A and B are shown apart, each in its own frame.
Chain A
């Protein structure tokens, strides 16, 4: 699986959009970009994933660059409950892989 690089931490104002970048320059053609978040000490929670096209669901939007070497997770209207550690992960769908996580981005939403 491709190695991912994320900023260690970032702050965001409540009600504003939070843009979380992820670099995955070694991503292969059949690897998807997945985003998870971990609130406090709970188990990580799936947010969204994509291959090439931009994706949107009720939680967030995912923008993947045309060369697929980086992506951005967008939380459109951050709330205090979005304070969490966000992980970007590249993985092949339908395959048993050695799935490893990077350090993630610690996002603090401030009132």
Chain B
């Protein structure tokens, strides 16, 4: 039982490049979340999903897209990366019994 895993752990992008962050959970959790955390700041919700095939916007969705084609995976895409998207990205999942389980994070730098 690996819990919540995130791929990649680190990435450096140039402005305008695109990439996809993968979040995977093996706990059969229904709900999944993507957060970003800027240096010295709290967690901000980007997008979330309440089930396979469904997604919804969080607090800061602009510049990101998501997909939940399989229950165990939640993908976060950056179509055209900007320096303002330099951050640490955390994925989390939860099921009815709680609590929220977080992944280790992906550290993204956009130059």
A residues engaging B (CB < 8 A)?
32, 34, 36, 41-46, 49, 85, 87, 89, 91, 93-94, 96-104
Contacts and interface: CB of A to CB of B under 8 A. Distances in A.
B90 A96 contact: no
A99 B50 CA distance: 11
Interface of B: 4, 30-31, 33, 35, 41-45, 48-51, 56, 58-59, 88, 90, 92, 94-105, 107
Contacts of B31: 96-97
Main secondary structure of the interface of B (DSSP, over half): strand
A85 B44 CA distance: 15
A103 B42 contact: yes
Contacts of B105: 41-43
B102 to A, nearest CB: 3
| Chain A residues touching B, majority SS | loop
B58 A100 contact: yes
Contacts of A104: 42
A62 B100 CA distance: 17
Contacts of B103: 43
Contacts of B99: 34, 36, 46, 49
A34 B102 CA distance: 14
B59 A96 contact: no
Nearest to A101: B43
Nearest to A89: B100
A44 B90 contact: yes
Which of B43, B103, B105 has the most CB atoms of chain A within a 10 A radius of its CB? B43
A91 B100 CA distance: 10
15 contacts: A34-B99, A45-B102, A46-B100, A49-B98, A89-B100, A91-B98, A98-B56, A98-B58, A99-B94, A99-B100, A100-B44, A101-B35, A101-B42, A102-B42, A104-B42
A99 B33 contact: yes
Given A41-B88, A101-B43, A93 B98 contact: yes
Nearest to A103: B42
A71 B99 CA distance: 18
